[in-house]
């Protein structure tokens, strides 16, 4: 709908500064999403290592249980 409204208006609201800012923000969002994924994977590894350290006999069983 936003594209339809921009097309409907006589003036183009997309200035080069806004386009550059939008591109920079999209890149930053991508970086942050990758960071969240990496931290989540690291957290999962640390939780599994801690569980194994606390109870080595049941560590393999705990990994098989749903979260």
Among 43, 48, 42, CA closest to 65: 48
DSSP 8-state symbol, 66: -
**Cα→Cα distances 36→4, 26, 32, 41, 53, Å:** 34, 15, 6, 9, 25
CA distance 36 to 40: 6
DSSP 8-state symbol, 57: T
Residues in Cβ contact with 12 at an 8 Å cutoff, skipping those fewer than 6 apart: 6
pLDDT at 5: 54
Going from the first residue of the chain to its last (67 residues), give the mean pLDDT of each consecutive group of 10, the final group possibly shorter: 57 77 95 97 94 72 59
């Amino acid at each position: 709908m936003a594209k339809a409204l921009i097309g409907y208006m006589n003036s183009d609201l997309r200035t080069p500064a806004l386009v550059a800012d939008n591109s920079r923000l999209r890149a930053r969002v991508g970086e942050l999403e990758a960071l969240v994924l990496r931290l989540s994977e690291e957290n999962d590894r640390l939780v599994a290592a801690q569980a194994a350290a606390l109870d080595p006999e049941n560590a393999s069983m705990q990994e098989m249980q749903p979260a």
